[in-house]
Amino acid sequence: MALPYNFEKKYTFSQEDYPQINSNYLRTAIYNVFASDKFIDEKENKITFSSNNSLINFRFIFDIIIEQTDVLKLKFVVNLVDLLKITLFLLVFIALFSKFAFHNYLLFAGIFIFIFYFANVIFISSYLNRNIEKALSMMGYNREEIFNPEQQEWLQNPNKCSACGENITENHIVCPSCGLKIKQNPYTKPLDLSQRNSGGGIKYHYKGKK
């Protein structure tokens, strides 16, 4: 099914144009950029999330489908059934309390559906496109291929989030605006003994309870 029940967009990455990319790397990047959304399920090549990043803050479900053949393909499919239900509910609600003549109401309904429904579709599509571009940026491609000049300035500025441009400091672990992971939390890094002298040991001290 297509609009109005769902919306989808496809991406194709050839090995010639993107030699570094593979399905596993892309899958990991997708999990990272959609970490703020609710993970629902993963089956074979399909990852399902739910999100409320819509124009009216309603929760929608979307699938990310990754296929590896001679080329790598990515597709997102957004379930818009709930958006359609909300649109129809609002039309009925307005009809009950409006004083429009019937033919005027039909004209209003057509304009309302077009603006309300498609504005949400555009907003959702923009959100997913931005996150997929973030995932691609993790793969090490040329910045000029993905980022506009403003975003390239963010990447060069250590005091700006590379994803959204929010002001950050060296103490930030994640961006306070978009939630992008900026660096590993130093308090959760695994113990690294590689810099210790081989002759030295670790001393353990036990203190008994009184």
In a domain, 11, yes or no: yes
Q: How far is CA 164 from CA 53, 137, 142, 178, in A?
A: 15, 13, 18, 7
Shared domain for 94 and 134, answered yes or no, is yes
Domain count, the chain: 2
- Are both 135 and 74 inside the same structural domain? yes
107, 44: one domain: yes
User: Quick one: DSSP state of residue 185?
Assistant: -
53/107 same-domain check: yes
Tokens of 153: 């300035």
- SS3 call for 50: strand
For 178-195, write each residue's pLDDT tens digit.
766 665 444 444 444 444
Question: Which tens digits make up the pLDDT trace of 17-28?
Answer: 667 677 777 887
pTM of the full predicted structure? Answer: 0.58
Residues 104 and 180 in one domain: no
Contact between 102 and 148 under an 8 Å Cβ cutoff? The reply is: no
Interval 50-71: pLDDT, tens: 998 888 888 899 999 988 877 8
pLDDT digits (tens, 9 = 90+) for 75-104: 999 998 888 888 888 888 888 877 778 788
Tokens of 34: 């959609």
